[in-house]
Amino acid sequence: ETEAEGMKDFGKIMKVLVPELKGKADNGLIKDLAGEYLN
C-alpha cells in the first residue's frame, strides 16, 4: 500500500498503520513491527 522499501520510508508506514491499529495495538509495538518489516 505504501510501496515502502526501507527505513527511509518508516514514516509512510507509520502514517498508515497507526490510524488503522489505534486502540488495538500499542504504538511501541507498531513501531517495532514496522521496523522488522523494513529490515
Question: Cβ(2)–Cβ(34) under 8 Å?
Answer: no
Please compute the mean of the pLDDT values over residues 1-10 and round it to a whole number. Answer: 84
In a domain, 1, yes or no: no
- For 26, the grid coordinates are 500499542
pLDDT for the residue 38: 87
pLDDT at residue 39 in the model: 83
How many domains would you assign to the chain? 1
Indicate yes or no: pTM above 0.85: no
Parent domain of 32 = 7-38
Q: What pLDDT was estimated at residue 30?
A: 94
Residue 2 lies in a domain: no
12 inside domain: yes
Give the chain's end-to-end CA distance (angstroms, integer): 17
